[in-house]
Structure formats: C-alpha cells, structure tokens
Amino acid sequence: MNRRDLLTAALAAPLPAVPAVAETETETETPVMALFREWNALYDYLNSDEAAALTEEEFDAECDRRRAMELHLAEVPSVGVADFAAKVLALTNQGDHELDAECTPASFWAEARALVGGEA
C-alpha cells in the first residue's frame, strides 16, 4: 500500500466518534439552550403577523421582555461553543443587528476570550 492509498483510505474511513459527540450535545439541553429556545419563540412571535396586531405599547413591552431575556441569557455560563453561538444569535437578533459592545455584559466578553484561550 503506498502513501496515496493510505490517505485515500483514511479519508474514506467512517468517523464513529462524530455522531457520538453530536448525540451527547443534544441529549441534555443546557440552561443556555433552554433560555435560547424561549427567546427564539418570542423572537418568532414578534416577527409574526400575530404580533402586527399588537398596540405599540404592547409591542414595546414584548420587546423590553425580549431584551431582558437577551441580557439574562448573556450572563448564564456557556457549557460549550453551541451555547455561546446561541448567545450571539440572541444578542444580534439572529444576525440582523450588530453586537453592541457597550450593551453586552462584561461576562459575555470574558467568556469569548476564554473560549479562544485568552484571559477571562
């Protein structure tokens, strides 16, 4: 067997560890993911036809509730990278807005630095 055959065989070999990792991550919902799912339901509602029927005061109150959820979500410690990604999605309204450094808790930025091997 030459080197090319070895490389081809390695690439063609199944990776049984990958599905096991994916299953482990989804078996137990983390506190961050539970909060994200709640936030996402409110986000979807606020962008629905049903929310268009709200008065301005009602809509503003729901937006305030969404923002409070975002700030709370940002403060809950991430268990893994997926948790941190969920926080980014919530804090940017699914990527529709920029991440506002001044309005994001310091703990969020400390967690970001820690995830890339920096000082928390």
Q: pLDDT 10s per residue in the chain (120 long)?
A: 555 554 455 445 554 444 444 444 456 899 999 999 999 999 999 999 999 999 999 999 999 999 999 999 999 999 999 999 999 999 999 989 998 877 788 888 899 999 888 776
Rounded Cα gap, residues 32 and 84, in angstroms:
8
| Cα→Cα distances 55→32, 58, 59, 61, 65, Å | 31, 5, 6, 10, 15
Four-point Cα dihedral 13, 14, 16, 22, nearest 10:
130
Which pair of tokens denotes residue 80?
A: 């893994």
CA 109 to chain centre: 14
pTM of the full predicted structure? 0.72
